[in-house]
Structure 1
Amino acid sequence: MSDDHARPIPQRGGSDARGGDDVFVVDTRRGARGAGRGGRGAPPPPPPPAASAPVAPPAAATAYDELGRPVRPGAPPSGGGRPPSAPQTPRGPRRPGGARRGLRTVVLLLVLWLVFLVATPAHAWTQVAREDTTPGGDRPKAAAGHTYLLVGSDSRKGLTAEEQKELGVGRDDGGRRTDSIILVHTPSGSGKPVVVSIPRDSYLEIPGEGKNKVNAAFAIGGPKLLAETLELATGLPIDGYVEIGFGGFASVVDSLGGVEMCVPRDIEDDKAHIDLKKGCQTLSGKDALGYVRARYSDPKGDLGRAERQRQFLGAVMKQAATPSTVLVPWRWWGFTHAAASGVVVGEDTSLVDTYRILTTMRKVSGGEALGLVVPISSTNASTSAGSSVLWDDERADAFFAMLREGEPLTEPPPGTDGEPAG
């Protein structure tokens, strides 16, 4: 046993009775393993350090949880007691450069689209045929609002012989006749716009030609004489003129992919080249042209045809203003340019005037404009020009006076429903 681990214990009474041997206490708690390896114990523990100034504990490293959030010292780990994940570098705020670039792109595309919407009809307007349509003679004084003349003619301009045969319009014999005559009046103040159908067999005074059917004025002197005849009959100054022919009408309808129309009854008309069944359906350009031209199969004759013409023109403009037309570039381009290629406008008729006409026609289908017929007293009067339509002069004068003076109209005036008086 090593002397390094024994220390004497002094006896109180000095030596004992057995001879005064010293008593030793051996500490075997340390170095037991060393003793088993040859009797050598482990070295004694180092002495405690000398007293000195207190040393600050090392700063604890900042810990973060699995979401990158700093964890306070002593706080329980998140996630149900799981140990915190390895420290992560917190992410800084996103830079706004990408969002700004995306916003600029959207704004640029919107601006380009608006430019396209405006530039397309403006370009089409440059393709429109023009004609001097300003009436001659003594013209009426200025009236409230604006009044325009919208004519559907039998012009076959741009149609081949095969197309004329397919549409059933016959060959061009050199004459010029109207299939529809419409006055479009936009008020200067309150009240609804008005679309007034003028029966083409109306028996009127034609300046310099005596009395005849109003259609004869167009055949004799074209738009100028027709406008002068209507100014004399109504007292309204004609502020603009738009004419659309057979081919132009069919092309406009086809450019829209057809037009939805609810046919009120079965219509079979050999002269108009149509055989339509009752019900709502999409009419192609060919069927649409036959629908607005059909006369002999209609019990109301020319008045029934005038009513269908107003309704269909309103449906065309309503279809033209839908997103399926305006938001589809090739359809918007096709519609505007088909319309431009098939119309004739007056030299003094502006793009704004044309816009007023077209928007008024659109309003007819939604009830925002009044679709009327000039007051009539007879639809089959015997005259020097043959069977003719006579106006109800008293009611017609009162009606046109209301338009001239700007009286707001919200309901059809008496006699404008297309039914003959009496």
Structure 2
Amino acid sequence: MTDPLERFAERPSSRYGPRRAHARQPKKHRRLRRAVLVLLGVVVVAAGGTYGWAETRLDRDVDLGAYGDRPPAGEGTNYLIVGSDSRDGLSEDAVQDLRAGGGGGRRTDSMMLLHTGANGASLVSLPRDSWVTLPGRLDTTTGKTKRPEGDKLNAAFSYGGPELLVHTVEKNTGLRIDHYAEIGFAGFVNIVDAIGGVRMCLDRDIKDEKSGADLRKGCQTLNGKQALAFVRQRHQEREGDLGRSKNQQKLLSTLAHQAARPGTLLDPTEMGPAVRAGLDTLIVDEDMSLPDLSKMFRAVQSVSGGKGKRINVPVSGFGVPTSKGNVLKWDPDRSARLFDDLRHDRPVRETGDSPR
């Protein structure tokens, strides 16, 4: 005998059965849609407020065309990303704690050329000890124009700031720099701390008195102070400045990848501190916009995600003695091929391996 309750459940036309359940369903969907819309509204308003505030904080202080005589525009977009040793935003105690002493002013601690285009992103390290030709420039001590001369790449920044550095990179690579972004010690440390540290895996112990690095082999999360010491140390690197450039490239792409994780981008309480930390010491070119910065950030993040390439400018020798000290000399054929590929936005053939 069939249970009356089972017969009741089987009746499709029952006044109190399935019809009532169907009647409740639209209300449930409406409530869900309202909740989603409210959540999106909060995120958009918060992000919009951060966007407007950030636009007013960008320090657009670099004139890319200050020296004129620039290469023609190529295909794709080229960014020059610079880490400087600027102490702006650091107290005297912080300078001591971060081992950030060593003179006033600001100099380049790292330089990277980021190219984006039809074939994805390529991040090319330009070691600061690279031997390049410095274009003619005004000598502020004599008031005369100096003739082009050989010197280390970071000397361009010391002599003429971002403008001369951009001019020097353009003259030695043949690439037109479309955008410039520079961040100092304080901004770097604060960004790493704001996102909760950066996860790195080291293949050996690193201890360096000058930078303050004291790290153990293995995977670990570096705080801002430790990350800064890691990217500044070079005395334990077999390739010296070239080895340091590789470390900087690896940490930058990893940092961008972690900062772009969904929890950070969608949570305004996390996004705000990271944005504020970066803008504190960020210097960009006159035409840089927040969308441009966002594109640059996403391109660096894509390199870490395996969708782009990390390359060191090909060198024919490191530790080469000159009148300006030991330098890195670019391989003329391989570096020319690399920059030619970037200029024409072709797939990059160069691997950037160590000297052959």
What is the TM-score with the length of structure 2 in the denominator?
A: 0.87
1:165 and 2:102 aligned: no
- C-alpha contact 1:117 1:326 (8 A) present in aligned 2: no
Measured against aligned partners, the alpha-carbon deviations of 1:2-23 in whole angstroms (never above 9, x if no partner) come to: xxxxxxxxxxxxxxxxxxxxxx
Measured after TM superposition, the shift of residue 337 of structure 1 is 1.3
- The answer for the alignment partner of 2:50 in structure 1 is 120
Counterpart selection for 1:107 from 37, 47, 52: 37
Measured against aligned partners, the alpha-carbon deviations of 1:201-233 in whole angstroms (never above 9, x if no partner) come to: 111111114221111100010000000001000
Secondary structure of 2:120's partner? coil
- Cα-Cα RMSD: 2.3
Measured after TM superposition, the shift of residue 98 of structure 1 is 6.4
- The answer for the alignment partner of 2:153 in structure 1 is 214
**Deviation larger for 337-346 or 307-316:** 337-346
- C-alpha contact 2:196 2:223 (8 A) present in aligned 1: yes
1:3-402 equivalences under 5 Å are 78=4, 93=20, 94=23, 99-135=29-65, 136-170=67-101, 173-187=103-117, 189=118, 191-208=119-136, 209=146, 210-402=149-341
> Aligned letter for 1:194?
S
Structure number with greater Rg is 1
Secondary structure of 2:4's partner? coil
Report the CA distance shift for 1:90/1:256 in structure 2 as closer, same or farther (over 3 A). closer
Where is the helix percentage greater, Structure 1 or Structure 2? 2
- The answer for the alignment partner of 2:142 in structure 1 is none
- C-alpha contact 2:199 2:219 (8 A) present in aligned 1: yes
Measured against aligned partners, the alpha-carbon deviations of 1:57-108 in whole angstroms (never above 9, x if no partner) come to: xxxxxxxxxxxxxxxxxxx99369xxxxxxxx96984465565345223222
In structure 1, C-alpha distance between the alignment counterparts of 2:36 and 2:291, rounded to whole Å: 30
In structure 2, C-alpha distance between the alignment counterparts of 1:379 and 1:77, rounded to whole Å: 89
Measured against aligned partners, the alpha-carbon deviations of 1:243-269 in whole angstroms (never above 9, x if no partner) come to: 011111000000011111111210000
Q: Which runs of 5+ in 2 are unaligned?
A: 7-14, 137-145
> Aligned letter for 1:376?
V
Report the CA distance shift for 1:139/1:101 in structure 2 as closer, same or farther (over 3 A). same
- C-alpha contact 2:121 2:300 (8 A) present in aligned 1: no
Secondary structure of 1:193's partner? strand
> Aligned letter for 1:384?
S
Report the CA distance shift for 1:251/1:90 in structure 2 as closer, same or farther (over 3 A). closer
Report the CA distance shift for 1:77/1:310 in structure 2 as closer, same or farther (over 3 A). closer
> Aligned letter for 2:350?
P
Report the CA distance shift for 1:108/1:420 in structure 2 as closer, same or farther (over 3 A). same
By relative contact order (CA 8 Å, sep 6+), the higher-ranking structure is 2
> Aligned letter for 1:147?
N
In structure 2, C-alpha distance between the alignment counterparts of 1:298 and 1:225, rounded to whole Å: 29
**Count of residues paired in the alignment:** 333
